[in-house]
Structure 1
Amino acid sequence: MTLLRQFITLAALSYFCIPASLQASASVTYCAQSNWMPFEGIRNDKHLGLIADYMARISQLTSLRFDVVAVDSWQQSLEFVESGQCSMAAIMRNAAVNRREITASRPFYEIPHVLVTRSETPLLSGYSAIGDRPTGVVEGFYNSQYLARYYPDIILVSVPSEVEGLDSLARGEVDVMVVSLPGANSYLKKNNDGALTIAGIAEPSDKLQFIFSSDPDRPLVNAINGAIATIPESKKVALLKKWNKGVLYETRTFWPYFYIGILLVLISSGLYLRHRRISRIDNVLVKKRREIDALQSVLLDKNRTIEFLSNHDAETGLYNRNHMIQKAEEEVARYRRFRTSASLVVIDLLSVNTQDGKPLSETGAGFARAMGRTCMTTVREVDVIARWSNDQIVLLCPQTDQADAHLLTNRLIERLEQMAGGLGYSVTLAAGIARLRDNWSFNDWYEQACSILHQARRNGGGVALLQHY
């Protein structure tokens, strides 16, 4: 029944109050403030905001079409309406509009005002709590006249708009700003980083209304008023919810909650400080552990280098005498336990003759390195080859009988002769091979191999075996 009554009322208003020129989708020029959100604004040449959605509803009810003209402030929209450049505009009801050329519609929204301050300012119970704080008010709005009349001790600072006034408050140019609640919520959601807050209510509340240029017949005014009377309260509430999504402010005044909060803060602070101290100690320990790991890595590299140098000959890169003795004694112990074959080869460099007439002393280091590389690439992985002296090489062949050791020795001597020929030398090599026997120590084994080597020397080179004797 309510909807039917509203429809009948609007139909009657449209028939009796709106002339034919307005009923046929008449065009009405409307002055819209370009930066008055959430009430209205211009973005990409489009009219947005609470008033824009409300006017869209009016356009559906009255078939009026609104052509929007952007203005910078409500004072400019007032001048445009007065001069006839716009047919209507929207302003606050309590704005200082005392001109006979202007006609106003009935209010369509009640807008409360609030006091916005910086977050460190305590709550303000009203204008009387402002004290000597500079207070910003929009120039020409009723709040400035109201405060000047009833609170003359308050220091007033006029600002062009609510947004500019809130910017001044954020910069510290004023301490309090009187602003509409939707305007405060919109600004705080977009620009506030916690520095500003709503600190109190500002009386009196205001209302939105449309203003028109003076018209004796009042057809446009009657049409707008009729549409305002017809729009249900539920539609207004829905629009207000859409454009006034406020920021949540809660103030707990109960002392138990306050003390509990203080206790929790102290506990949290203690835990936080303890956590920070533990984190600091952990960081120091991690840093020290990394330093220790780095030093251990360096030490490991140094140990490997020392181990290599202690086991290898610096000139040829072959194992040295100490390493050979250790490995040979291990092989003797293995033979005594498992009776596995093993052969020891002693190779002697009888002579080195240069083909270009250079003495060996000038090229001996290069020849020694080449000899070491040839030995390491010729012997097997299980074999141990060492430089026993300047002219002697010892080859240990684990799990190898004399026949296999003889083949390996011949191949090694052949490779050494080829290497020497490639470097411009001719060499004469002699080798003695001895298989490990029962009750032999390494010294016995080595002496037997050397005695076989003497036979090869007497023969002018080549390879001699133990069974020849």
Structure 2
Amino acid sequence: MIIKRSISVSTKLYTPICLVLFMCQLVIFSPHVLAANASTATSEEFAYPTVTYCIDPDWMPYEAIRNNQHVGMSSDYIIYIGVLAELDFQLVKTKSWSESLEKLKSGECQVASMLNRSPERERYLRFTQPFFVGPNVLVSNVEQAFFQGYENIGTQVVGAVAQYRQAEYIDNYYPHINLKLVENELAGLRLLADGDIDLFVGSLLSVNALIQKSGFSNLRIAGLAEPQDQLSMAVSNDDIELLNKLNVAISELPEWVHADIYKQWNNVRVIEEVDYRYFWIATSVFLCIIILGVWRQLLVSRYNKKLTLKNQQLQTLQKELLENNQRLEFMSVRDPLTNMYNRHFMQDRAAQEKQVSQRKNLPVCLLLIDIDFFKAVNDQFGHSAGDAVLVELATLICSTIRNMDVAARWGGEEFIVLCPKTTLGEAIYLAKRLKNQIRQHEFTEVGRMTCSFGVAEYLGPESFVDWFDRTDKALYAAKNTGRDRIHASCVELTEKTESEKLDSV
């Protein structure tokens, strides 16, 4: 029997093409990075520091070692994260997941590319934020009712891979379950197909791929298993600097990178090409029991149809999960009225820029914007008109700020702009430009409006709360001195710039 991957050629070409597009995006949206490198870097400085990493060598489509090469979803993530974090990842080849964990404990591997957080692993690893979420499932070889978790399993024997997070989870929270540990997911599915265990628990994507590849036509998905996979990278030896680099790189991954990696590896299918010479030999030998063969074929066909139906349902579920994850991710960082980033996103992004400012000694500023006399708009024209003003102002702010700036709705009629690599003077200039654009704009129904501005530069090391409070005090100083003004935090102002503290109409 010959087994081949139906998109093997396109898979080899896909990642390089996406990486080129990814680099182009970096060039378009981060020209200051390339400019800084071009002016200061020599050819030797482009060599990134080397970081060793280990993977699970047999966990497709997430990751595996095939022909001494790292393949799977994590292989693509390693490429993108390596570019963003400026790291040269070097694979340490292992023969099993247990061996990989031992090398992580010993420090021979500095990083694990894709794994779940668990209490046992937290003893010797530090985890990044998750970058991929997927469900776990229970697999059965008989017609059973749909399971929703482990509560109704009773005395049935459940298989799980040794040293996987699911095995540790069942042992900690469901000690009454009859658990049988196996070397890998394929070994567990074989035991299930042979009737040696009643259920097997594993990742939806990897289990589904193994069922299709290995021809386990009598196996089916029997239910969802808690908890779902929340896959992260992990760092050994308490390397906080490396952990921070990885977290920053993961947070900067565009949404389309996650979607493209998922679609690329989820579309891998296995085509089985049967050698019909063996079929004819078997037919000539078993002519006397042809009726039995026909009966068996009908039975297999019935199970294949059921399996195909279940696979279609699984694919629909996968698509819905991806869409829901994308929708939830969008909703978690966006303001529903203006479609701008929300307060939660801005706090996280400001924390990242603080780290960059402290590490590279770069300036970063906050602009706080408040609509003057907004309550009067609501009282005179109604809350619908007030909402329309907020939406128009959000559009005006986003179209006026620079590409590297980040704008968000802070709450009510307040908006905030984060200005990386920006001095206080440059931030004041941007605030003046925004103030003039707003003053000249005709808002629907209400006409001309004005805004007051507070500006403050980050003074490390200070907390975001302290930084924001200084900006907020500057805003209220602008309000109290007549509105439609720009007021900068007095802490940063020297005698030379003291005259710029108040900017009157």
TM-score between the two structures when normalised by the length of structure 1: 0.46
Q: Which has the larger radius of gyration?
A: 1
